Structure 1
């Protein structure tokens, strides 16, 4: 729920992760509350998308940039592992070119050292089959570059062109990239909506970090209701009100 001011806070906690759970929670709120929901940010889970479309249809849904990039990174890793197995007959080992760049592949180009750039070049040219990894890596980097664009319009155009270029017609030698293209195109409206709203799951992840810290301090909760109450106190801006009593 966005009003443009104030910090984010935890509204509630309920067990489960499904479209049904979110739909029931939103249905339990009054119409005034639902009408105030203007933007809904989420990961790639289709259940949340369906629930938001049903219960708050006027809200703008946005697919969180971190999860978009993470999805591309996962496909890049699967591609590297597949080519590694196909060319060597075994999983990555020390000394294998592709295994040696497994972390470097997921680093933004602007952050690479000269040594890392040389290592990438050597790995890409070590075998003809490594071209599949190089191409998938290029798409991954273009995805990041679109999000890093200085202007919203420039970023949105760059992202649209990228998503359209991989949505179909990808060579069969690049199955991971083809699957990525299909998945992202299904959600391209939510992905592009980020450039209009600049909304992300950053506040949610920050609250989740606080809750993980709380759970660690408590060394586990045996009572779910107690855990929910403590979480709301800790991350729902209730602490100050309680202390003021």
Structure 2
């Protein structure tokens, strides 16, 4: 099973519970409940017989405490698996936070240089780096390459990354941390080995001194067992994200949602 949330109209959230075996087709949708309040969702899911709920072996979810509470209450015998992509996203966000900070510094630096040039009555000419970017452009254009593994960079991205990492060694170190975390999930199939490597990763984060990464480390520690459960069956919440995409596509064909009750009725007829 997967549990996730999605917005239908005006940003109103619904909790969506899906069956992975349905493959996004008929039989995929178990429940679609207005709101994300744990108590309300539990009340609805408890209408499913206890025998059927106890038969659920595994549920994938994100790190929201409400989702955790729902699964723990409604599917007590199921293994809870934190989606690895949500885990990795936290690391990517921390990396981008460092890049964005440097970008604002570069913008302020350029703005001050322009003002000084005007005061001196000369034309401002920005410094151009070896790859043809200015500092401001370098930091803006490096956003997407930091999400990718180095072996997937284009030649231009490799040149840009080399310049970026030379100028900003902290971005290089933060990128290395995110890449190491990605490799732990990608390369390991043994839970015990993954446990050891994750512990080493925590040590590397502590030694780096990055405040944003230390915050992530604390978050990971609170969900450690459920994150490691990924290595049992390598289950992710990808099926839930895919189903949410189907809902959004269906909503688009209807030019939005005017009558929510009728929309949910149609979704149930197609996917439940």
Q: Which has the larger radius of gyration?
A: 2
Structure 1 unmatched ranges of 5 or more:
237-245
What's the C-alpha RMSD, in Å, of the aligned pairs?
Answer: 2.8
Alignment of 1:38-49 (within 5 A): 38-49=57-68
Which one of 176, 182, 193 corresponds to residue 157 of structure 1? 193
- Give the total of aligned pairs: 230
The whole-number CA distance in structure 2 between the counterparts of 1:217 and 1:169 is 46
The whole-number CA distance in structure 2 between the counterparts of 1:90 and 1:62 is 45
TM-score norm. by structure 2 comes to: 0.74
Deviations 1:134-178 (A, max 9, x none): 2211111112112221x511x762464235532697258511111
User: Would you say the 8 A contact 2:53–2:75 is kept in 1?
Assistant: yes
Comparing both structures, which one devotes a greater share of its residues to strand? 2
Question: What's the counterpart of residue 240 of structure 1?
Answer: none
Which one of 121, 124, 127 corresponds to residue 162 of structure 2? 121
Question: What's the counterpart of residue 144 of structure 1?
Answer: 182
Alignment of 1:9-28 (within 5 A): 9-28=28-47
Question: What's the counterpart of residue 125 of structure 2?
Answer: none
Which one of 66, 74, 80 corresponds to residue 55 of structure 1? 74
SS of 1:14's equivalent in the other structure is: strand
User: Would you say the 8 A contact 1:168–1:181 is kept in 2?
Assistant: no
User: Would you say the 8 A contact 1:43–1:67 is kept in 2?
Assistant: yes
The whole-number CA distance in structure 2 between the counterparts of 1:169 and 1:210 is 38
- Seen in structure 2, the aligned counterparts of structure 1 residues 158 and 85 have a Cα distance that, compared at 3 Å, is farther
Deviations 1:52-103 (A, max 9, x none): 1233222100011221122211111112112333465369xx7223223111
Does residue 212 (structure 1) correspond to residue 248 (structure 2)? The answer is: yes
TM-score norm. by structure 1 comes to: 0.82
- Seen in structure 2, the aligned counterparts of structure 1 residues 113 and 197 have a Cα distance that, compared at 3 Å, is same
SS of 2:76's equivalent in the other structure is: coil
Does residue 131 (structure 1) correspond to residue 189 (structure 2)? The answer is: no
The whole-number CA distance in structure 1 between the counterparts of 2:181 and 2:192 is 11
Does residue 180 (structure 1) correspond to residue 180 (structure 2)? The answer is: no
Structure 2 unmatched ranges of 5 or more:
3-18, 111-132
